[in-house]
Structure 1
């Protein structure tokens, strides 16, 4: 294995605690898609992967791993009367504003600063829209440490395709084998595998479990802070 020189992070469930950041957003998403019909909203949540009573998210479901367009299509297929394109726009706006209420896993400014100081090239690749990622980076103070940001609408394709990883490599001059991909669901990990990334790292702050993430991850960590202890070994690989 080549020494790891770059790290590409997922956002939701990886940098941000999924339950604390997204369960209220998912309920609002269903309210919008159902046009205020509470019974329909619950059915839409169930169809897209969230238990409307407990808030549990099914690993790798639409709400866990889909991009905005895919979620909108799933909501319409499950009974929303809205137009897919209109719903996509409304959900993108909702997700962009969600950055104001999201809860980070750790002090992200300090975390990214430490990784940057150790010489890593850093990026964020999310199934969310690029505007939301940039707002998150600005809110939590790590914009200056990031070399690359890609959302589903940035032109690199969508997860689990390899495009976002290859875009990171093009932006940083790294080879895929020099990159660690870090995420909370199999879309992230399969993206890394499809790009032939050097390492795939799963974290448990999102919608995946140790069991659901085992097959596609080289390492499974409780959260991103444990990555710092792992990296010295990967840098010397």
Structure 2
């Protein structure tokens, strides 16, 4: 395991990492299922179950389709489960829903202050999400940390999909860092496996999403309650980019 002192870049997941998953996305999931079901309440409930969410409690299973899938993967899964749309049409509807949902998201902390602190310490910072790039940028603007980002990647940005390594390698290309100088921070195993596949120096799990210590322990070097615990861990950028 690479020590935190050698890390110079931090790549964050968005949902469940920067945003509180339950408060931000459970309401969106209900609307997503309603759209996919064409307003059929019984089908909507079945689609939620297919996606990994209990329609009564709102609990989302770790690493399930709704917890970790990108827009196209969710559309494919719900069409296979009976949604009366083509995958392409449903993905387009979902992209619109997700972009608009940035206005209703709930952050896990003061993100502007958090990113300002990490930027001042010399870290190169990025966000890599299975959401679309427009939604990521809208979130960054809303919460005031867009100016601190060196890199943004969504499922539609051309770097591939999690858990493939492409988003991490894109971050490295954008910042001049090597993978071993990068920490990947996320709330589910898609994030952590992406980091491991890319050769990231550290993988850091947080518990503000759908994962648990039990589900995340095998693929993480650290498992933190939330991103604020990164502040005492990453006290200043380490090895400079070569």
TM-score over 0.5 for the alignment? yes
Among 141, 144, 150, the residue aligned to 1:141: 144
Provide the rounded CA distance (Å) in 1 between the counterparts of 2:94 and 2:56. Answer: 22
TM-score (norm 2): 0.96
| Residue deviations 1:11-62 (CA, integer Å, cap 9, x gap) | 0000000000001100000000000000100000001100000100000000
| Residue deviations 1:67-91 (CA, integer Å, cap 9, x gap) | 0000000000001111110000000
Give unpaired runs (5+ residues) of structure 2: none
Provide the rounded CA distance (Å) in 1 between the counterparts of 2:198 and 2:21. Answer: 25
Partner of 1:105: 108
Provide the rounded CA distance (Å) in 1 between the counterparts of 2:194 and 2:13. Answer: 11
| Contact 2:185–2:192, Cα closer than 8 Å, also in 1 | yes
Provide the rounded CA distance (Å) in 2 between the counterparts of 1:193 and 1:129. Answer: 23
Partner of 1:122: 125
Provide the rounded CA distance (Å) in 2 between the counterparts of 1:158 and 1:126. Answer: 9
The count of residues paired between Structure 1 and Structure 2 equals: 236
Partner of 1:232: 235
Aligned-residue offset at 1:230: 1.1
Aligned-residue offset at 1:232: 3.0
Give unpaired runs (5+ residues) of structure 1: none
Provide the rounded CA distance (Å) in 2 between the counterparts of 1:234 and 1:188. Answer: 22
Indicate the SS of the match to 1:19.
helix
Provide the rounded CA distance (Å) in 2 between the counterparts of 1:229 and 1:144. Answer: 23
Shift of the 14–73 alpha-carbon distance from structure 1 to 2, 3 Å rule, reads same
Partner of 1:64: 67
Matches within 5 A, 1:146-157: 146-157=149-160
RMSD, aligned α-carbons:
1.1
Provide the rounded CA distance (Å) in 2 between the counterparts of 1:133 and 1:232. Answer: 26
| Contact 2:122–2:236, Cα closer than 8 Å, also in 1 | no
Provide the rounded CA distance (Å) in 2 between the counterparts of 1:109 and 1:60. Answer: 28
Structure 1 moving runs of 4+ over 6 Å: none
Partner of 2:201: 198
Partner of 1:17: 20
Provide the rounded CA distance (Å) in 1 between the counterparts of 2:214 and 2:235. Answer: 26
Partner of 2:35: 32
Partner of 1:209: 212
Matches within 5 A, 1:184-195: 184-195=187-198
Aligned-residue offset at 1:229: 1.1
Mapped pair 1:132 → 2:132: no
